[in-house]
Amino acid sequence: MAVPKRKTSRSNTRSRRSQWKTSAPTLVTCPNRACGEQKLPHIVCKACGQYDGRQVLTV
């Protein structure tokens, strides 16, 4: 089993963690002309309940 020989320094740990970045989610406009809300791609629109031009949810 692999065991580190020395403790990882605080500097090395923090420089590695500095690469952890968050990004804003990608939003697209709902293709339903009556709705036009911003939604996540490949997800049912929460405002109108449509997905890929079909009514999926009753809102």
- Give the pLDDT confidence of 9-20 residue by residue, as tens digits: 999 999 999 889
Confidence category of residue 59, pLDDT binned at 50, 70, 90: confident
pTM given for the model: 0.60
* Cα gap 44→31, rounded to integer Å: 11
pLDDT in tens, 5-55: 999 999 999 999 988 989 999 999 999 999 999 999 999 999 999 999 899
Q: Is 31 left (phi over 0), alpha (psi -120 to 50) or beta?
A: alpha
For the chain, the structural domain boundaries read: 26-59
pLDDT at 38: 96
Phi, psi of 17 (to 5 degrees): -70, -15
